A = this chain, B = another copy of it.
Amino acid sequence: MKMLINVPERVVTDALRGMALAHPELVVDVENQVVVRRDAPVAGKVSLVSGGGSGHEPMHAGFVGRGMLDGACPGEVFTSPVPDQAVRAASATDSGAGVLFIVKNYTGDVLNFDMARELAEDEGVQAARVLVEDDVAVTDSLYTAGRRGTGGTLFVEKLAGAAAEEGAPLERVEAVARQVAGACRSYGVALSACSTPAKGGPTFDLPPGELELGIGIHGEPGRERRPMMTSGEIAEVTVDALLEDWGGSPPTHPVLALVNGMGGTPLLELYGFNAEVQRVLAARGVAVARTLVGNYVTSLDMAGCSVTLCEADDELVRLWDAPVNTAALRWGC
């Protein structure tokens, strides 16, 4: 598998150097792998810090900026960051109003961020944590590490970020984040495995005529293989998996929909897939308030897609529409 890299060991630091050069509005500490807003800490504002393994770009560093994250700490590819990184991001962005860590529910992320939180509090930073666990493909939470955090992370970061930008105190920002995390559900499908720089090839074998349902975002295989389906059929399986998790009846409020590419699927196909997703949502009686289509929570070069629905009351829709100014998500400002 050919990659546009120098050496596998330097992929993340090379990317951070390149990001710094493209985004003067960010402060990038390449050595320590921390990205923060240039205007951080913002006086009186609660800071939002997230991070995780690299390979999901633009998440998280691409979501740093006004109205979303204050800091991000990218780990090595598909490897959660070490506690030091998260502590640095927290210290660099805390205005005294406290820090909310947004953590995707993976064993590594949880353990490292928990250590970070302890260390940050030792340094006098008031730190809260919200867990994103939106992946409905993980049904059996008792006998697994629990639901994975995937596309829902974007909604938690955007909506809690908007609340923080408006000056909400830590408890309120945390409450919004928790509400959003609870309101999100995701389901992903792979048409191909991704290749990590370290392995130099696909992380799993997916035969030509098959797809993988219920995948995560770390190149890990999913739970079920099926013969290849059309875009419309994939939309049906996906939406139905999401709605089943809502208890069979559609969400009461309209949803914010993220039709997300895993990285290797052309935008042309993603837009076409969105048409099918919206068709199925309409047929199932789900109202859609806002739709975002693109590669936001990716898995390197994996071909495939995921759908995240976030049930949103008027207040959440308002927070979605609020200005955001980051490398990857930008509107209203």
Chain B residue contacts of A57, Cβ below 8 A = 266-268, 271
Chain B residue contacts of A4, Cβ below 8 A = 191, 231, 234, 265, 269-270, 272-273, 303-305
Residue of B nearest to A1 (CB): B208
By CB atoms of chain B within 10 A, which of A274, A275, A276 has the most? Answer: A275
Given A265-B301, A266-B300, A301-B266, are A272 and B22 neighbors across the interface (CB < 8 Å)? no
Chain B residue contacts of A54, Cβ below 8 A = 268
Task: Label chain A's interface by main secondary structure.
Answer: mixed
Distance from A133 Cβ to chain B, minimum over Cβ atoms (Å): 24
Contact A272 B5 (CB under 8 A): yes
* Binary B-proximity of A39-70 (CB < 8 A = 1, otherwise 0): 00000000000000011011000100000000
* Binary B-proximity of A1-21 (CB < 8 A = 1, otherwise 0): 011111100111011111101
A93 within 8 A of B: no
A143 within 8 A of B: no
Pull 29 A–B residue pairs with CB atoms less than 8 Å apart, ordered by A: A3-B191, A4-B269, A4-B273, A4-B303, A4-B304, A5-B272, A6-B230, A6-B231, A6-B272, A6-B276, A14-B231, A14-B275, A14-B276, A15-B268, A15-B269, A15-B271, A18-B271, A18-B273, A18-B278, A21-B274, A21-B275, A22-B271, A57-B266, A57-B268, A58-B267, A264-B264, A265-B301, A330-B330, A330-B331
* Binary B-proximity of A180-212 (CB < 8 A = 1, otherwise 0): 000000000001100000000000000010010
Chain B residue contacts of A309, Cβ below 8 A = none
CA distance A16 to B22 in the complex (A): 31
Distance from A7 Cβ to chain B, minimum over Cβ atoms (Å): 8
Chain B residue contacts of A58, Cβ below 8 A = 267
A150 within 8 A of B: no
